[in-house]
Amino acid sequence: AANPTAASNNWCGSINKTPATNRVKFITATWQHPNCRVQTDKELRQAISPWVGINNGTAPIQAGSYCQVKNWAGKVDHFVWWQWFGHGTQILNYFQVDPGDWVQANISMPTPTSADIYIANFSKQRSLTFKLKNGNEIIGSEAIWVAEAPVLNGFQAIYPRYDSIWFQQAAATREDGSNLGVLGATQWQVRGQCRSWEYDDATL
């Protein structure tokens, strides 16, 4: 059966739900950082950010990579980042990422208010780990793998031109040790800009 779909203004990808009594406590994925190119017939607010996250439905903890078109000549900013909702976004400008680099993000939550975030750039052979505690409580009812068009200075961005993004080794683990992946997940679509679907290696 086909995956259920849902419409979003700016999230494109897979979201799988679990009861709060069996929360998501770990999530991971690997992807190639996108090559952003300006859409010259659109507004200049153009950006895309692939990320993974654990959510309450409204307040996620998340980690990913990001590219934003800066001018009509095609200048693009690239970086990795993480955020625990309510505590601000941490932009890691010192951690280099370039188009085509293989990036991995893992979030482990031993408790609903503590987390370990791991971000790696396999192409550059670099990684970072952040140990966090006393954050806003994350119930962990959703596992998220999405490519987002973020809000920039209070205005909704659109997606630039970019190559397909494949979340590989996309997996999550629940409180009872069971796995939760993209199988059967709701595929969120951004009409006219981005389409998401489930795949496995056997279909490529």
What does the pLDDT look like over 84-110, one tens digit per residue?
988 889 999 999 999 999 999 999 999
Three-class SS state of 203: helix
pLDDT of 204? 44
Tokens for 54? Answer: 């654990």
Q: Is the pLDDT of residue 201 over 60?
A: no
Between 199 and 195, the more confident residue is 195
**Comparing C-alpha atoms, which of 8, 129, 124, 148 is closest to residue 66?**
148
What is the value of pTM for the model shown?
Answer: 0.93
**Comparing C-alpha atoms, which of 44, 15, 64 is closest to residue 165?**
64
Q: What is the pLDDT of residues 158-192, one digit of tens each?
A: 999 999 999 999 999 999 999 998 988 999 999 99
Taking the C-alpha atoms of residue 21 and residue 141, their distance in angstroms, rounded to an integer, is: 8
Q: Domains of the chain, with CATH numbers? A: 5-194 (2.60.120.700)
List, in order, residues 6 or more apart from 124 with CB less than 8 Å away.
96, 97, 101
